[in-house]
Every structure is written in C-alpha cells, then in structure tokens.
Structure 1
Amino acid sequence: MANISPIDLQKALRGADYPASRDDLVTLARNNGADDVLVDVLVDAPAGEFDGPDDVQKAVFGDE
C-alpha cells in the first residue's frame, strides 16, 4: 500500500458529490492538487460508484 493517509484522501476528495464514479473521484483529486501517488491509488480502486467517503476509504485502505 502506498504511503497515503486518510486525511490526505479526504483533502483530495474535498467537494465530492456522491454517489460518484471512480473516474469522477480521480478527476476531482487531480483538480484538488493531489499528488501522483494518491491519484494512482484511486485509479487502481475498483470501478463503479461510491456512495460516500466511507466507501472510498474501504476501497483504498481495505480493513486496515
């Protein structure tokens, strides 16, 4: 797992409108100035829609 924190993820997804697709979240993270590592983690997340921040956290961090 890349060295990103839940706080970094929240900052990258600031302003997200849920439900949101993975591609929408990747675009938002880039627009919010997220670093390449965080964007790559989102790109590698399962495709589909996320109902909220908790869904994104589970996809990125699993059961950590």
Structure 2
Amino acid sequence: MADLSPIDLQKALKGAEYPAAKDDLVSVARSNGADDGLVKKLSETGTKRFDGPNEVQKAVFGNE
C-alpha cells in the first residue's frame, strides 16, 4: 500500500458534508476514487460519526 497523506484524505472526502457518519464518508471516498488503503483505514476507525475533517484526519492518521 502506498503511503497515505492528509492531502489524499482531503481529496477523498471532497464534497463531504459534516457532521457525517463514517459509512457516509466511506461512500464519498469511494465515489471520489480514493485509494483502497485509505478507504480501509477510514472504515476501520472506531469513530462512528465525525463533526468535521479534522476529526477524520485524527482518527485515520492519529495512531501512526
């Protein structure tokens, strides 16, 4: 899997409306052509709902 960056995450979630459920963000990422690794990391976060993109970024990249 290629290294993922916060910029990749921003591109993947372009057009997402917050607050948003994790499943909705996974769908947005898939429709935006996100890398499978990024979609997997997003779908495996323990958070079910996000108030904004900063929360998503912390959930996806915070444990690295």
> TM-score, normalised on structure 2?
0.89
Unaligned runs of 5+ in 2: none
Query: Following superposition, which runs of at least 4 residues in structure 1 exceed 6 angstroms of deviation?
Result: none
> TM-score, normalised on structure 1?
0.89
Unaligned runs of 5+ in 1: none
Q: CA RMSD in A?
A: 1.5
Post-superposition shift, 1:63? 6.3
The residue number in structure 1 matching 2:23 is: 23
2:54 and 2:24 mapped to 1: Cα distance? 16
The residue number in structure 2 matching 1:56 is: 56
What is the percent sequence identity of the aligned residues?
A: 65
Q: Give the letter for the 1:3 counterpart.
A: D
Post-superposition shift, 1:47? 3.5
